[in-house]
């Protein structure tokens, strides 16, 4: 008669080796940036809450016209400049570029850095509410 060890018997039933997910194991879901419309972004601005408008285009594009109150951090400088210029990782960030591609990339980077309230409202080309120089 063949004798099975306890380990051989219990492993197929999942008794050993099964790890329950832990809230503190570093694998918690990171916050995802949210895509919103220009209209939704404008409503958030008009609501009077605290927010930062972030332009991720180039300096020359910014000088050519930007949304009033926006700060500039070009998309290729987000990783190195965000924590310095945007110290509150729970602040509402309304992010835009020219057409939406760079702002989407910037939002992914910011979310990966731990920013929790990141909103991509696309590009200034579809912003119907006016710009300043």
* Token pair for 10: 């219990």
Give me the domains of the chain, ranges plus CATH numbers. 31-126 (3.40.250.10)
* pLDDT > 90 fraction of the chain, expressed in percent and rounded: 74
Instruction: Rank 4-13, 18-27, 36-45 by mean pLDDT and report only the highest.
Output: 36-45
CA-wise closest residue to 128 among 51, 47, 40, 52: 40
Place of tokens 């310095």: 84
Cα separations in angstroms, 77 against 3, 6, 57: 64, 57, 10
User: What does residue 84 show for φ and ψ, rounded to 5 degrees?
Assistant: -75, -45
36-82, pLDDT tens digit by residue?
A: 999 999 999 999 899 999 999 999 999 999 999 999 999 999 999 99
């Amino acid at each position: 008669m063949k004798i099975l060890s306890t380990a051989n018997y219990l492993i197929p039933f999942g008794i050993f080796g099964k790890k329950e997910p832990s809230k503190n194991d570093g694998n918690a879901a990171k916050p995802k940036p949210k895509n919103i419309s220009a209209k939704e972004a404008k409503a958030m601005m008009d609501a009077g809450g605290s927010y930062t408008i972030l332009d991720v285009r180039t300096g020359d594009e910014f000088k050519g016209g930007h949304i009033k109150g926006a700060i500039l951090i070009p998309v290729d400088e987000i990783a190195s400049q965000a924590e310095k210029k945007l110290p509150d990782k729970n602040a509402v960030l309304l992010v835009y570029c020219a057409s939406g591609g760079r702002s989407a990339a910037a939002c992914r980077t910011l979310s990966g850095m731990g920013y929790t309230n990141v909103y991509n409202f696309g590009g200034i080309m579809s912003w119907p509410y006016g710009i300043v120089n």
